[in-house]
A = this chain, B = another copy of it.
Amino acid sequence: MTARWLGDCAATGTITFDVDAESAILAHDLKYADHAMIMSHQAYGPDVGVPRLLDVLDQVGIQATFFMPGWVAKVRPRLASTIVDRGHEVAHHSYSHQSPTDLTDAAQHADFERACEVFASQGVEIFGHRAAMWEATSSTLDLVREFGLSYDSSLMGDDKPYRISADGVRPLAELPVHWSLDDWEQYAFLPSPAVGNVIESPAKVLEMWKLEIDAMLEFGSLFNLTCHPFLSGRPSRAVALRSLIEYGLEQGMRFATCRDVAADVLADSQVREVHQRHLITGTGDYPQTPGR
């Protein structure tokens, strides 16, 4: 019997977009606000990439999930609601795109809450969260529960969804991500802040991701793809993404929003469950004073 979140398919795909826009750069250093080229490089995401990708999603007929920092939603007030109106999910991606591992717990709490307020003020209902830079701490998962969300999509402990339990509170669904299913490592490049190394051809990326689809169909995995509109919204990359989704559909994959997959994960008792305390490896037996 296949897992509920697989539907009747051999694998499920969630196509996700991190709509970071300028925040991904401003989180490095506010000085970049005056660098016209870098700001235009990032603005391409919401201004050109998102409209093109929405058209691509229409062409292949699937729903996707757009993780958006609250700041991006605030400075472009119609962006989130337009995406929802086109039939897709908008989800929480911090307010400022600062990494949780760089913030105090209080600062992380304030940042998390501020994004919730932006989405609430725009009438956009939020069901899940992805940490900026994927760099969740153990506090992050507590915030996901505190603010009433049902899933997180920042961890890498499996290639199937799992549940994160904790004492006396409800479990969360975890829809795991991975570096190899992220367009950033394939396409991103900036000299300053130093981002990326090689700009790969969409031909290589398409081949690599098709191979992962093939293997995930064998193993019954979640193909949880992370794309960035300022990267994958460029012409040949948008075409490659369209080809990839068409390929998955031809192979019989199911594509769904993260929200829908998370609901299935929480309703299926067969899904693997990990206690939140086990997310952080105890270092009690690890040498505390390295012998150097």
State the A residues within 8 Å of B (CB): 22-23, 26-27, 30, 33-37, 39-44, 47-48, 52, 71, 74-75, 95-96, 98, 101-104, 106-108, 110-111, 131, 133-138, 140-141, 154-159, 176, 178-180, 185-187, 189-191, 197-204, 207-208, 211-212, 214-216, 218-219, 221, 234-236, 238-240, 279-283, 285-288, 290-292
- Please state the number of chain copies in the assembly: 4
Q: Is the CB of B203 within 8 A of A208?
A: yes
- Which residues does chain B contribute within 8 Å of A211, judged by CB atoms? 201-203, 236, 239-240
- Are B155's CB and A37's CB within 8 A? yes
CB pairs A–B below 8 angstroms (18 shown): A36-B141, A37-B131, A37-B135, A41-B157, A47-B157, A96-B286, A98-B290, A102-B292, A103-B292, A159-B235, A179-B190, A185-B189, A200-B208, A202-B208, A203-B207, A208-B236, A211-B236, A219-B235
User: A103's closest neighbor in chain B, by CB?
Assistant: B291
Contact status A26-B286, CB under 8 Å: yes
- Bound-state Cα–Cα, A182 to B58, Å: 31
